[in-house]
Chains A and B, each alone.
Chain A
């Protein structure tokens, strides 16, 4: 349910091509030998990558950014990277990677899993909710030619965010706090929130015995954000990495009872290309990628209008993944 919605909200993805990173340094293995300017680098104990990989992304800015990060990190280690970004929605890019046109894509655990299950059974939903279970289930659902690599802690998942007026008044920190005052709260969210469980009106009733004062169906995006800003709704269903949460002073509430399936960012890769060296680079990226970091980068892209590739390079430098 989530992915199509966010693809809609992210229609303005801009294809950014070019600007290949060069040079490299392998701080992950604490070695600092670098051959700056060279495209093939042997740094410390980290073996140089000689493979060539085609990196793709979905057609929304965050996916492009993550693909740029993967591409930049691999390129710094000598991989020959071809970028095919902004390809389309999951239906389109999944076909491309399973058909062998792409080798590497940034993905989200629950969305990818839901997609793979739905392809087989239109009404199927994943049973796994935490990252560990999701990754295990992904490995069994994926075809033999594809695999996923270790997930990051960065997540782009459904959250309930409340506007400043509401948090000032009630001091909500998590969904339990919210549920305790549900009778006074007007909640906004996409229409499907009204009958979705566990993350929806029926779920709140079941798990928290909470009934909201009212629910206003609004598209995730400008309609809901405007309503939150104007305090026409107190809280609403947004996505955790949306820059509007930070820029408007909204508070994303903690999901203290885990009713939202995890949506950890992880690399989806062609098995043939998932060599130990490539795996080590991407595992290193995953270990440094956090939700806060992703939010900050998304603010730079959506608010400061920076190019994804520049934001990615900056992040890679700050985290010592490129020289």
Chain B
């Protein structure tokens, strides 16, 4: 009862919607931290995942290894790095990048490696070079799973980026920490709700992207396969196991 009214009061207080510590400013900070972290993680994890998935060597090892950083507590990394560089942004970004790499890496490896060998053979048989196979066949076919990795990384990062407020930085975590220390619980709940809403929005956006990637796979792959006889192409695509979008585990 009072939880709802306190939270409502916090949301409806116009003072909380302006200035450098207002909701729009904190939301924007939170989005920035999250986007920077996921983009950096993708820049690291995607090339590695594509190569490992393509050469099909060490894929299971890579997937297993990519699970290791998941065991590293993000808060631990953050505290460790904040000791070296208090109140700076990079420790927060590093901690979140470490969090975001495993899902992207694992899904990319699985997505690329999981492309039907027959399709790949066909592409190679018609004289496509390795890069052609990767960019023309494997990536389009593996894309839905790759995007699903980014999606799961994004929602984890958005939810976890609250802790950077511990190190004196901004973002939506500020509301949770500040509200708690000033015993303004409406602010705490309001902040938590905003984080959840942001994570869900990102999920929705990337799910849409994933959906498009699936459609792109069906069309793009066949278009690019060029000179492969239509019958063979279709046969390959039909043999392609149905990859269900969603969590890779």
Contacts and interface: CB of A to CB of B under 8 A. Distances in A.
Interface stretch (A27-35, A92-100, A217-225, A242-250): A217-225
Interface stretch (B36-44, B173-181, B234-242): B173-181
Contact of B87 (A192, A194, A216): A216
Q: What's the interface size class on B, roughly? A: 10 to 19
Point out which of B166, B168, B174, B178 has the most chain A C-beta atoms below 10 A from its C-beta: B168
A226 B86 CA distance: 6
Interface in B16-36: 21
A227 interface: yes
Given A188-B168, A217-B168, A223 B182 contact: no
Contact of A217 (B82, B85, B178): B178
B182 A227 contact: no
A4 to B, nearest CB: 9
A261 interface: no
A113 interface: no
A233 interface: yes
A218 B168 CA distance: 5
Given A223-B82, A226-B82, A218 B178 contact: no
A281 B165 CA distance: 48
B15 to A, nearest CB: 11
Interface in A178-229: 188, 190-192, 194-195, 216-219, 222-223, 226-227, 229
A17 interface: no
B86 A194 contact: no
Given A217-B174, A217-B177, A232 B182 contact: no
B88 interface: yes
B249 interface: no
A191 B177 contact: yes
Judged by DSSP, the binding face of B is helix
A230 interface: yes
Contacts of B88: 232
Interface in B150-183: 165-168, 174, 177-178, 181-182
A230 B174 contact: no
Contacts of B168: 188, 216-218, 223, 227, 232-233
Contacts of B83: 222, 226
Contacts of A190: 181
A227 B87 contact: yes
Contact of B86 (A192, A195, A217, A232): A232
Contacts of A222: 83
Contacts of B165: 217
B166 A230 contact: no
A232 B181 contact: no
A19 B82 CA distance: 41
Contacts of A219: 166
Interface string B73-102: 000000000110111100000000000000
B178 A194 contact: yes
A229 B87 CA distance: 12
Contacts of A227: 86-87, 168
Given A216-B168, A218-B168, A191 B181 contact: yes
Nearest to B181: A191
- Closest 8 A/B residue pairs (Cβ): A227-B86, A232-B87, A191-B178, A216-B168, A232-B86, A191-B181, A226-B86, A218-B168
